[in-house]
A = this chain, B = another copy of it.
Amino acid sequence: MNNRKLTKPVRVGNITIGAGARIPVQSMCNTKTGDVGKTAEQIAKLEAAGCDIVRLAVPDKAAADAFGTLRQKTNLPLVADIHFDYRLALICAAGGADKIRINPGNIGKSDNVRQVAEACRAHHIPIRIGVNMGSIDAESEKKYGRTPLAMVESAFYHIGLLNQYDFDDIVVSLKASDVAKTVEAYRLMSARSGYPLHIGVTEAGTAYMGMIKSAVGIGSLLLSGIGDTIRVSLTADPTEEIKAAKGILRAAGYSDGGVEFVSCPTCGRCGIDLIGIASKVEMALAATDKPIKVAVMGCAVNGPGEAKDADIGIAGGDGCAVLFKKGAIIKKIDEADIVSVLLDEIGDM
């Protein structure tokens, strides 16, 4: 994207967040971190689904100890998610955390903040400050209410606490369950600072509605050049978050390659089973990494023209279809052969 805001680079394990780097996709395990077996299994599933960075909840000492064990079992960067207890951050920093999510305003006295900042600096570990609409610091909320501006002010409050100890290796997130407020908070923050932004909509909801809210919010920000790493939050299996995140990145023009698939919504002009054909073709091509555009169109009258920037496609007739490449018709195919002929032709490309 040519309008992407250039932020400061932050290293999380072997991955760069910010400064125009490829946008890594994050998720979070919903297993008990202390259950090392189940958590390792879920991390592996997330990796297979294409997740770049995994976060683990660290609510207590047992989880912090398990975090160190899990760090040895995967190559994916791991983030420790910590609230309130700075000692858990010290354990995870020593245990190889690649990033720590902690809000320094919530961990008590100034010396606790100093210890966390120094441990993270010593181990080259960045900190994500994660302000949610429900966890704005008291003073910012008093001054600005529960607003996007209050979230941004709250982020600067936490940043200031770390800056006191010369720590500035920071990623910021500003999540609300309201999409418009989330987008506004990130826009304000992006205009006022160069910290890389971790974007997402919090408590977005179940797989269907949560995906729509995340697509609207994350997608809007990405289209306007804001966002350095993304997390789709769904009340669903975490691998669903990866699938949705990759879809949102692709929709916003940040794809990693692979097939771009377009298909028309069908209408009264369509004489073939387009819904069935499109599903089969899309599924068959899901794992293909050829950087081509494939079109499955309902009618031969408009199809090849409407999709003339597709590398290859079919357009339906009555019980048949034409195969076209770059808008030029190549040959006619019987309906029963559409899927196999199209996939064969793509295989040969």
CA distance A223 to B215 in the complex (A): 12
Could you give 19 example pairs across A and B, Cβ below 8 Å? Answer: A1-B180, A56-B268, A57-B267, A63-B268, A133-B309, A146-B309, A177-B262, A203-B306, A205-B263, A205-B278, A209-B247, A209-B251, A212-B219, A212-B251, A213-B251, A220-B220, A235-B266, A237-B275, A238-B265
Give 1 or 0 for each of A16-46: 1 = CB within 8 Å of chain B CB.
Answer: 0000000000001111111000010000000
With CB as the reference atom, state the residue of chain B lying closest to A293.
B177
Interface hub of A34, A203, A269 (most chain B Cβ within 10 A): A203
With CB as the reference atom, state the residue of chain B lying closest to A179.
B251
Interface residues on chain A, size class: 35 or more
Query: In the complex, which residues of chain B have a beta carbon less than 8 angstroms from the beta carbon of A306?
Result: 132, 134-135, 202-203
Contacting pair B203 A253 (CB below 8 A): no
Contacting pair A209 B261 (CB below 8 A): yes
For A223, give its contact among B220, B233, B282 (CB under 8 Å).
Answer: B220
CA distance A235 to B277 in the complex (A): 10
A183 touches B (CB below 8 Å): yes
With CB as the reference atom, state the residue of chain B lying closest to A277.
B235
Question: Known contacts A57-B267, A253-B178, A296-B235; is A219 also within 8 Å of B209 by CB?
Answer: no
Query: In the complex, which residues of chain B have a beta carbon less than 8 angstroms from the beta carbon of A211?
Result: 211-212, 215
A216 touches B (CB below 8 Å): yes
Binds B, one of A121-129, A149-157, A297-305: A297-305
Nearest 7 Cβ contacts at the A-B interface: A216-B219, A57-B268, A134-B306, A215-B215, A233-B265, A212-B247, A30-B266
Contacting pair A29 B180 (CB below 8 A): no
CB distance from A40 to the nearest CB of B (A): 13
How many copies of this chain sit in the oligomeric assembly? 2
A248 touches B (CB below 8 Å): yes
Query: In the complex, which residues of chain B have a beta carbon less than 8 angstroms from the beta carbon of A279?
Result: 206, 235
In the complex, besides A135-B305, A203-B265, A238-B265, 12 extra interface pairs with C-beta distance below 8 angstroms are A33-B268, A57-B267, A59-B268, A134-B305, A146-B309, A178-B253, A179-B223, A180-B223, A202-B264, A210-B263, A211-B215, A233-B264
Contacting pair A265 B215 (CB below 8 A): no
Contacting pair A208 B269 (CB below 8 A): no
CA distance A237 to B269 in the complex (A): 15
Interface hub of A58, A209, A216, A307 (most chain B Cβ within 10 A): A216
